[in-house]
């Protein structure tokens, strides 16, 4: 435990010195503040914020994760020759780099929400949106780790894969589902659509936002079906649970690869 | 004491280590030589636990390597390429590694002094010259006073003065009874630092024995010429030579594919 916190603290220090985590905080700070000023405040602002977040965080998280693996290659190899457990090193590195990114999003968005008084007004919804952003950060940084370790010697492939996965999950996915539904509209497809929406963490987060604000029409097809099938409360619990599974699978996979890998 | 038995490793279709056997006693200084891609780095990485072997056994000080990590507390490693987190400062890096190892850094100050790293301590690592980064690598490898030391192409980035200081330090470690491994392409350097040689070609150990024997065997005066000869010589030729010298040279051991 002492070793783990030692690694995490060192990563934090080193990251805070590289100014760009602070820049990332500022982006969300300015964005949220602008949305609040021009959007009039209230649920619309939180919705706009979550739309940006759903698109932006997965990309930044994955690129950040994979970039860390590529940039710190020699350093990680040096650390691996020290008398420490690979497992501890993996968790130390992962938590050490993902938590500052998560904090950057949460703090950057939280401050404007606080000074515009949204927190007092709509605290539950705000907490949900910020929590989802944090969760997506962890999930996609760990996916970035997985791809970085999988394509350890081939950076071009690694980055290419990352971009394709992001395009697929963030942009194409809902459209493909809609197309399938359109093509096979004569068959009962609800269960199929629910299963499919659970296979995409961005969709799950979108569904959670939608259930919270109860605006199924605005948030894509899978969300609408989800709402009708589960109703609000069961839906929230199911989608949150699935998102947890989505956090566990890539981190576990990353750990597995990290432990077995030849560096 | 390091014992390696029938060590094999492939990366995909490429067989990098093809069944290596070698036993290195405590306190020996060994140079690992061979052409690029022969398997030198893979061999070292396997002993360090960075690469996991496909088959065969490695014992380090009697502990069999099986994914356990505690044996590495007796090992110091200076990598070929030294790259560290850009924003970290030198003293922070030293502090970080000390926290990881939980051992007393007995030689920290001595090494900093010896390598003139004092003025660099407060600087971020990205601003350091390649040579200074190498010196930090050497400091990290030796400051915990480990029993076994690995240096992978150590002097490549050094200026003559640093190189001289580094060699003096390694000699001192050798006198203190450390087991030392050095890979290098600079044979004159190995002549100064080691007394045993492992010559690797195509994933096999082609020669392991004392340097004096190798020179005698190849009737050359310099290591460079002897190694060059070993690379050129056809297999059967050196095999017959091996027959002749096997009885006379007890420390000599040759292996063939």
This prediction has a pTM of 0.86
Whether B223 maps to a domain, the answer reads: no
The answer to whether residues A196 and A181 touch, using CB atoms and an 8 Å cutoff, is: no
Torsions phi, psi of B183, nearest 5? -100, 140
Whether B256 maps to a domain, the answer reads: no
The mean per-residue pLDDT over the stretch A146-153 comes to 92
Whether B28 maps to a domain, the answer reads: yes
Whether B161 maps to a domain, the answer reads: yes
State yes or no: pLDDT of B236 exceeds 70.
no
What secondary structure letter does DSSP report for A1? -
The answer to whether residues B133 and B82 touch, using CB atoms and an 8 Å cutoff, is: yes
Whether B121 maps to a domain, the answer reads: yes
State yes or no: pLDDT of A60 exceeds 90.
yes
The mean per-residue pLDDT over the stretch B70-79 comes to 89
The answer to whether residues A24 and A101 touch, using CB atoms and an 8 Å cutoff, is: yes
Whether B255 maps to a domain, the answer reads: no
Neighbours of B37 (CB within 10 A): 12
The mean per-residue pLDDT over the stretch A70-95 comes to 91
Per-state percent for chain A, helix, strand, coil, to nearest 5? 85, 0, 15
C-alpha to C-alpha distance for B21 and B3, rounded to whole angstroms? 8
CATH of the domain at B113: 3.40.50.300
Higher pLDDT, A143 or A38: A143
Place of tokens 């409360």: A233
State yes or no: pLDDT of A68 exceeds 50.
yes
The 3-state DSSP class for residue A42 equals coil
Position A216 scores a pLDDT of 55
Which residues in chain B have their CB less than 8 angstroms from residue A1's CB?
A: none
Q: Which of A14-23, A225-234, A237-246, B135-144 has the lowest mean pLDDT?
A: A225-234
In this structure, is the dihedral angle defined by the CA atoms of residues A113, A115, A116 and A119, taken in order, positive or negative?
positive
Place of tokens 């290591």: B223
Whether B186 maps to a domain, the answer reads: yes
Which residue segment(s) compose the domain that B102 sits in?
Answer: 2-197
How do residues B2-36 score in pLDDT, each as one tens digit?
888 888 888 888 888 888 888 888 888 999 988 88
Cross-chain Cβ contact B86/A18 below 8 Å: yes
Whether B193 maps to a domain, the answer reads: yes
What secondary structure letter does DSSP report for A152? T
How do residues A118-130 score in pLDDT, each as one tens digit?
777 778 888 888 9
The answer to whether residues B255 and B214 touch, using CB atoms and an 8 Å cutoff, is: no
Position A44 scores a pLDDT of 79
Residue B161 forms contact with A (CB below 8 Å)? no
Higher pLDDT, A228 or A148: A148
State yes or no: pLDDT of A223 exceeds 70.
no
What secondary structure letter does DSSP report for A170? I
Chain A residues with CB within 8 Å of chain B CB:
3, 6-7, 10, 13-15, 17-18, 72-75, 77-86, 260, 262-263
Position A76 scores a pLDDT of 92
Q: How many CB pairs under 8 A join A and B?
A: 76
C-alpha to C-alpha distance for B19 and A142, rounded to whole angstroms? 37
Residue B247 forms contact with A (CB below 8 Å)? no
C-alpha to C-alpha distance for A78 and A86, rounded to whole angstroms? 12
Neighbours of B245 (CB within 10 A): 15
C-alpha to C-alpha distance for A210 and A223, rounded to whole angstroms? 7
How do residues A22-58 score in pLDDT, each as one tens digit?
999 999 999 988 888 887 667 778 888 888 899 999 9
Which residue is closest to B85 within chain A, CA to CA?
A: A72
Position A41 scores a pLDDT of 67
Position B36 scores a pLDDT of 84
Q: How far is CA A48 from CA A8, A36, A41, A59, in A?
A: 33, 10, 10, 18
Angle, helix A73-80 to helix A43-71, in steps of 10 degrees:
70
State yes or no: pLDDT of B248 exceeds 60.
no
Mean pLDDT of chain A: 86
Position A220 scores a pLDDT of 62
Closest in B71, B82, B100 to A3, CB measured:
B100
C-alpha to C-alpha distance for B88 and B109, rounded to whole angstroms? 19
Which residues in chain B have their CB less than 8 angstroms from residue A10's CB?
A: 88, 92, 96, 99
The answer to whether residues B37 and B46 touch, using CB atoms and an 8 Å cutoff, is: no
Which residue is closest to B93 within chain A, CA to CA?
A: A10
B104: tokens are 């007393």
The mean per-residue pLDDT over the stretch B48-69 comes to 85
C-alpha to C-alpha distance for B15 and A90, rounded to whole angstroms? 29
- Percent of chain B residues topping a pLDDT of 90: 12
DSSP string computed for chain B: -EEEEEEEEEETTEEEEEEEEEEE-TT-EEEEE-STTSSHHHHHHHHHTSS--SEEEEEETTEEPSS--GGGGGEEEE-SS----TT-BHHHHHHHHHHHH-S--TTHHHHHHHTT-GGGTTSBGGGS-HHHHHHHHHHHHHTT--SEEEEESTTTT--HHHHHHHHHHHHHHHHTT-EEEEE-S-HHHHHHH-SEEEEEETTEEEEEEEHHHHHHHTT-SSHHHHHHHHHHS-HHHHHHHHHHHHHH-SS-B----
Position B190 scores a pLDDT of 87
How many structural domains are present in chain B? 1
């Amino acid at each position: 435990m002492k070793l783990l916190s030692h690694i995490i603290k060192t990563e934090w220090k080193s990251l805070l010195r590289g100014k760009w985590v602070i820049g990332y905080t500022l982006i969300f700070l300015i964005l949220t503040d602008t949305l609040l000023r021009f959007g009039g405040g209230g649920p619309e602002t939180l919705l706009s914020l979550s739309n940006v977040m759903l698109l932006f965080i997965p990309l930044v998280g994955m690129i950040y994760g994979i970039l860390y693996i590529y940039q710190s290659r020699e350093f990680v190899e040096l650390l691996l020759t020290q008398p420490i457990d690979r497992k501890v090193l993996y968790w130390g590195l992962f938590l050490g780099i993902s938590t500052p990114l998560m904090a950057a999003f949460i703090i950057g968005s939280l401050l404007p929400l606080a000074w515009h008084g949204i927190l007092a007004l709509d605290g539950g919804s705000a907490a949900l949106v910020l929590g989802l952003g944090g969760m997506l950060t962890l999930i996609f940084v760990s996916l970035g780790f997985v791809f970085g370790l999988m394509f350890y010697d081939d950076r071009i492939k690694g980055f290419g894969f990352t971009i394709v996965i992001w395009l697929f999950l963030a942009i194409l996915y809902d459209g493909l589902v809609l197309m399938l539904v359109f093509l096979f509209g004569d068959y009962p497809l609800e269960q199929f659509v629910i299963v499919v929406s659970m296979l995409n963490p961005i969709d799950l987060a979108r569904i959670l936002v939608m259930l919270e604000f109860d605006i199924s029409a605005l948030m894509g097809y899978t969300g609408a079906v989800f709402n009708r099938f589960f109703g609000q409360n069961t839906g929230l619990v199911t989608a949150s649970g699935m998102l947890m599974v989505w956090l566990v699978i890539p981190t576990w996979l990353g750990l597995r690869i990290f432990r077995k890998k030849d560096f | 004491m390091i014992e390696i038995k029938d060590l094999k490793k492939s990366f995909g279709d490429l067989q990098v280590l093809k069944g290596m056997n070698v036993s290195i006693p405590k306190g020996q200084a060994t140079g690992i030589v061979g052409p690029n891609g022969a398997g030198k780095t893979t061999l070292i990485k396997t002993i360090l636990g960075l690469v996991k072997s496909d088959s065969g056994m490695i014992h380090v000080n009697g502990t069999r390597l099986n994914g356990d990590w505690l044996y590495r507390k007796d090992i110091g490693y200076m990598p070929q390429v030294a790259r560290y987190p850009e924003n970290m400062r030198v003293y922070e890096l030293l502090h970080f590694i000390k926290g990881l190892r939980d051992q007393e850094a007995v030689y920290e100050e001595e090494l900093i002094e010896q390598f003139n790293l004092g003025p660099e301590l407060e600087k971020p690592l990205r601003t350091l010259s390649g040579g200074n980064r190498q010196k930090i690598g050497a400091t990290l490898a030796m400051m915990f006073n480990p029993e076994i030391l690995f240096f992978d192409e150590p002097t490549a980035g050094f200026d003559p003065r640093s190189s001289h200081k580094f060699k003096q330090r390694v000699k001192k470690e050798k006198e203190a009874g450390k087991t030392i491994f050095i890979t290098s392409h600079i044979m004159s350097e190995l002549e100064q630092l080691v007394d045993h040689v492992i010559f690797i070609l195509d994933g096999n150990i082609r020669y392991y024995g004392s340097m004096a024997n190798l020179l005698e065997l190849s009737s050359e005066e310099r290591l460079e010429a002897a190694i060059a000869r070993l690379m050129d010589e056809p297999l059967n030729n050196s095999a017959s030579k091996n027959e002749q010298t096997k009885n006379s040279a007890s420390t000599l051991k040759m292996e063939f594919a």
